[in-house]
Amino acid sequence: MKYILILIFIISCASKEKRYVPSFDGELTQFDYPYDVQTYKFSSQNQKLKMAYGDLGDHESKKVAVLLHGKNFSGYYWEQIANDLVDKGYRVIIPDQVGFGKSSKPSYYQYSFQQLALNTFSLLDDLQVEKFTLVGHSMGGMLAVHMTNMSSRVNRLILVNPIGLEDYLNYVEYKDTDIFYKNELAQTVDTFRDYQKKHYYDGQWSEKYERLLTPFKGWRNGPDWELVAWNNALTYSPIFTNPIRPELARLQVETHLILGTRDRTAPGAGWMKPGINKKLGQYNKLGAEIKKLNPRKITVIEIEDLGHMPQFEDYERFSSHFFSLF
């Protein structure tokens, strides 16, 4: 009887642990990143804001890499790449943009890639970083392209499955932010997981993908979900209104475009303009298109059978290409 009661207790504990859902505030105070997080305080658009960031490696190193996260994530997901860059002697800086991760979630903010670029340059000024290699994934790739053309400080640009390789408003209808806000509020852990499973991982799922959902789970169950959702909605605007194809054409620095060719990410594809039948997000074709825009400066590395998150789907294959550039 004693052993039966112990077994019941163990099963009960395991069941409770399985049912546990975290609760995080808007700045993920209760969620630990895999590196020490520091805070940069600054003023922007008539308010006091904070940018959270990681600063890894030797601060005296002349080799600096800045890593820019995508829209559905923040700096925490750069862990393995950052550690491997540190092993190569790099100082690695990983900012959370305003509206993301552990950074401020303002109730009002005019989001643009130019504004996010200014914020990031201000952080780098504070850290006394002048020249650096810039790496951007997904939406971070769009920001990285704008940053590169706004300054002479970027000495090399690496883009990993960036969105924006098509000018979306040429094909899709512009939508009010209220539409995005409504959609964000309706998101659940299951819908968020299903989207990523379908669009990022070709219908596959694993524990490492599930771990990346932890911040979303905590936000969705936390006290600041409406504010987080509002910022998620606001940050769609620059994706549509700050295109990068013209910026890619005028890049003057060494640029490497790494593409998982199975990717079909295409913001706005559900709102195609009448009479438009173009298939958006065909990453297996976009590399060649972008190369033609600026053949002197852009090289394209295609990785077949990987999607929007090649650095997570197959780190070994991805890293063999990525680290050959350093």
pLDDT tens, position by position, 95-104: 999 999 999 9
Give mean pLDDT, residues 62-81. Answer: 98
Q: In this predicted structure, what is the pLDDT of residue 137?
A: 98
Does the pLDDT value for residue 16 go beyond 60? no
**Which whole-number Å values give the CA distances from 6 to 15, 17, 112, in the listed order?**
14, 17, 57
Average predicted confidence (pLDDT) for the chain: 94
Q: In this predicted structure, what is the pLDDT of residue 9?
A: 46
Using 50, 70 and 90 to split pLDDT, how confident is the model at 239? very high
Give mean pLDDT, residues 165-188. Answer: 98
- 315 sits in which H/E element: helix 315-322
pLDDT tens, position by position, 184-236: 999 999 999 999 999 999 999 999 999 999 999 999 999 999 999 999 999 99
Q: In this predicted structure, what is the pLDDT of residue 2?
A: 47
Domain parsing of the chain, residue ranges? 24-325
Give mean pLDDT, residues 230-259. Answer: 98
Report the SS3 class of residue 166.
coil
Task: Answer yes or no: are the C-beta atoms of 245 and 165 closer than 8 Å.
Answer: yes
Q: In this predicted structure, what is the pLDDT of residue 19?
A: 59
Lowest mean pLDDT among 11-15, 136-140, 289-293: 11-15
**Which whole-number Å values give the CA distances from 63 to 58, 121, 130, 252, in the listed order?**
9, 17, 11, 20
Q: Of 86, 63, 37, 5, which is closest to residue 215 (Cα–Cα)? A: 37
Does the pLDDT value for residue 92 go beyond 50? yes
Start-to-end CA distance of the chain, whole Å, equals 63
pLDDT: which is higher, 141 or 12: 141
Q: In this predicted structure, what is the pLDDT of residue 10?
A: 46
Does the pLDDT value for residue 123 go beyond 90? yes
pLDDT tens, position by position, 27-61: 999 999 999 999 999 999 999 999 999 999 999 99
Angle at 314 between CA 312 and CA 319, to 5 degrees: 90
Q: In this predicted structure, what is the pLDDT of residue 17?
A: 43
For residues 106 and 239, give the distance between their C-alpha atoms in angstroms, rounded to a whole number: 19
Q: In this predicted structure, what is the pLDDT of residue 21?
A: 87
Give mean pLDDT, residues 290-296. Answer: 98
Q: Please state the pTM of the whole predicted model.
A: 0.93
Residues 6 or more apart in contact with residue 239 via CB below 8 angstroms: 71, 139, 142, 163, 164, 168, 267
Give mean pLDDT, residues 135-148. Answer: 98
CATH fold of 24-325: Rossmann fold (3.40.50)
Residue corresponding to tokens 């294959």 = 317
Give mean pLDDT, residues 127-138. Answer: 98
**Which whole-number Å values give the CA distances from 216 to 80, 213, 271, in the listed order?**
20, 5, 25
